[in-house]
Copies of this chain bind each other. A is one copy, B any other.
Amino acid sequence: MSPKITTELLKQLRQVMKSPRYVQEPVQAYIVPSGDAHQSEYIAPCDCRRAFISGFDGSAGTAIVTEQHAAMWTDGRYFLQAANQMDNNWTLMKMGLKDTPTQEDWLVSVLPEGSKVGVDPFIIPADQWKRISKVLRSAGHDLVPVKENLIDTIWTDRPQRPCKPLIVLDLSYTGVTWRDKIIALRSKMAERKVLWFVVTALDEVAWLFNLRGSDVEYNPVFFAYAVIGMNTIRLFIDGDRMMDPAVREHLQLDSTQEPEFKIQVMPYGSILMELQAIGAGLSPKEKVWLSDKASYALTEAIPKAYRYLTPYTPICIAKAVKNALETEGMRRAHIKDAVALCELFNWLEKEVPKGTVTEIIAADKAEEFRSQQKDFVELSFATISSTGPNGAIIHYKPVPETNRTLSVNEIYLLDSGAQYKDGTTDVTRTMHFGTPSAYEKECFTYVLKGHIAVSAAIFPNGTKGHLLDSFARSALWDCGLDYLHGTGHGVGSFLNVHEGPCGISYKTFADEPLEAGMIVSDEPGYYEDGSFGIRIENVVLVIPAETKYNFKNRGSLTFEPLTLVPIQTKMIDVSLLTQKECNWVNDYHQKCREVIGAELERQGRHEALRWLIRETEPLIRVQ
């Protein structure tokens, strides 16, 4: 893959950074954050400004361009990819490494005295603004909002903002009506004594109204904001999608009803004006609740004294704890997903030795098998189909330039998932279609031990996920190996494949305590640059555990794997497993046989069933 040539673009950007047409005063640096106006992780093409200016299109990264420099901050998942996609104009800033400066410290070190640093106030989250602004100010610089997005001014063929039809989710999927969700939200608002709640995250809008969309690839969301008052509901959304009778019926737009459940539909672009109007009309003690990750522009619309900011909104927290119908849906989705993967791996086993299967073909085949399953909507993220050295690029996506042919001599890593109307999946399996080396098996087995350590962990109610992260690393650490990414993320219910507020990571972020009903991924890995990548990922459900002493009635939790896809036993060095770990693998495979076997049988997929039976033969550990 050749890097994007950005010399001309950077020249243009530096020109507009000084142009009185766009900036009141010249800015000496311009920050291009990763997200959109909703701080989404996955974004629509029209919002891919950082990729446009730099070439680096991973899901996380912030670009900063000064008159002399262009620098890109990204995390361990993307070090290789970013280095490959960017030309020599760019300096890669490897986040998480000890010597890498923060964006603000770097700015202070390179800027001439009294500089202005520009950023689009709709794109930068308020908490980031605050952090960067504070450091800049204390060093004599200024962070300034630039109303017109400077990338957009030089992006001549920028795509339109999508505006696709909506999907209505009925009660059999969501378990709770949108009215009841509004009632619960208002009760949280009353508890905190706030009058208004501003919904800025796209998945929170979708979840609240039991609607889904397809404005952003992989994430079934739609561009909208909502503002909930104690007696009003305002939905800011564009297009004629509100004309859809099913949507009108679902939202009861045309039926008479109590005024506090009457939804006022307003143009997407009017949110700022409306918020400013709300902000201007507040009396002392009247508060507006926003996420501290809401954009600086929207946050500033509410005078500081009236803001109530929290790292996680009550919607985010309620959304994370899946109810019985959502959990049931997630189970169904994972069974269907496993059927598709059994078909795929069975097919790969036959085809790979012929030397005709590329990473792209394998990814397409995975999508094909998934799309045969009921209620399939789309993939939940770009399939990571990577063989050999490509596997070490943690969030690799095969493109024609990098597309490698699968062979019996290399490890193959497939990290993929789908959106079904009943749930979201995300699974990684690492396979060898020939004979793995002793070293490959050794590494795989350490990763497996880490995966099991998390999956089988028992912990008291109220434990935060970050406390479990080291369990995933311990076996690797013992041999001097590690991986530069977190161990798990929250997973939405037919929603974003990455969601807060819980996760399992060495990074001490403000995660909320795990509770029964939450769903996270468990995905330790090991990556050898230039050689191979290994990752074993299940989506797991937090469930109550039975323990001998039950934490003095505080309650015990553990995980139940929702993903039921065989873990390739050929890759396991059984001599490195304890008996307990060996039993875990055998029990897991037994459950795959029973649950997925029954579904393969039901769907008449007999060859895949035979593959499943073969792949789930119990391990035998010689003492």
Contacts and interface: CB of A to CB of B under 8 A. Distances in A.
Contacts of A17: none
Of A140, A459, A462, the most chain B CB neighbours within 10 A belong to: A459
Given A471-B470, A508-B466, A480 B284 contact: no
A549 B481 contact: yes
B138 A556 contact: no
Nearest to A471: B470
A481 B140 contact: no
Interface residues of A, number: 36
A587 to B, nearest CB: 17
B549 A480 contact: yes
Contact of A470 (B140, B470, B478, B482): B470
A361 interface: no
A461 B285 CA distance: 49
Q: How many copies does the complex hold?
A: 2
Contacts of A480: 458, 460, 547-551, 556
A98 B463 CA distance: 11
Interface in A90-148: 98, 138, 140
A481 B458 CA distance: 10
A265 B106 CA distance: 39
B474 A471 contact: yes
A479 interface: yes
Interface of A: 98, 138, 140, 284-285, 305, 308, 457-460, 462, 466-471, 473-474, 477-482, 506, 508, 513, 547-551, 554, 556
Contact of A478 (B138, B467, B547): B547
Given A460-B477, A467-B470, A480-B551, 11 more contacts: A457-B474, A458-B477, A458-B480, A460-B480, A468-B470, A470-B471, A477-B547, A477-B556, A479-B548, A480-B549, A481-B551
A561 to B, nearest CB: 19
Nearest to A478: B458
B469 A284 contact: no
Contacts of A457: 474, 477
21 contacts: A138-B308, A458-B477, A458-B480, A459-B473, A460-B480, A460-B482, A467-B469, A468-B470, A470-B471, A471-B474, A477-B547, A479-B547, A479-B548, A479-B549, A480-B547, A480-B548, A480-B549, A480-B550, A480-B551, A481-B549, A482-B554
Nearest to A287: B138
A182 to B, nearest CB: 26
A549 B140 CA distance: 46
Contacts of A482: 460, 551, 554
Nearest to A140: B285
Q: Closest 3 A-B residue pairs measured CB to CB?
A: A480-B547, A480-B549, A508-B508
Nearest to A453: B474
Contacts of A550: 480
Nearest to A509: B508
A138 B466 contact: no
A140 B284 contact: yes
A477 B546 CA distance: 11
Nearest to A511: B508
Contacts of A470: 467-468, 470-471
Contacts of A460: 477, 480, 482
A18 to B, nearest CB: 26
A444 to B, nearest CB: 14
Contacts of A140: 284-285
A460 B98 CA distance: 12
Nearest to A481: B549
Contacts of A481: 549, 551
Contact of A467 (B284, B506, B554): B506
A473 B470 CA distance: 12
A476 to B, nearest CB: 9
Nearest to A459: B477
Contacts of A469: 467
Contacts of A508: 466, 508
A414 B414 CA distance: 54
A546 to B, nearest CB: 9
A471 B473 CA distance: 11
A527 to B, nearest CB: 10
A559 to B, nearest CB: 13
Nearest to A547: B480
A554 B547 CA distance: 39
Contacts of A462: 98
Nearest to A468: B470
A138 to B, nearest CB: 7
Contacts of A468: 470
Nearest to A460: B482
Nearest to A466: B508
Contacts of A98: 462, 513
Most B CB atoms within 10 A — which of A462, A473, A481? Answer: A481
A171 to B, nearest CB: 31
Nearest to A549: B480
Considering residues A478, A548, A551, which has the most beta carbons from chain B within 10 angstroms of its beta carbon? A478
A28 to B, nearest CB: 18
A580 to B, nearest CB: 10
A350 B53 CA distance: 79
Contacts of A547: 477-480
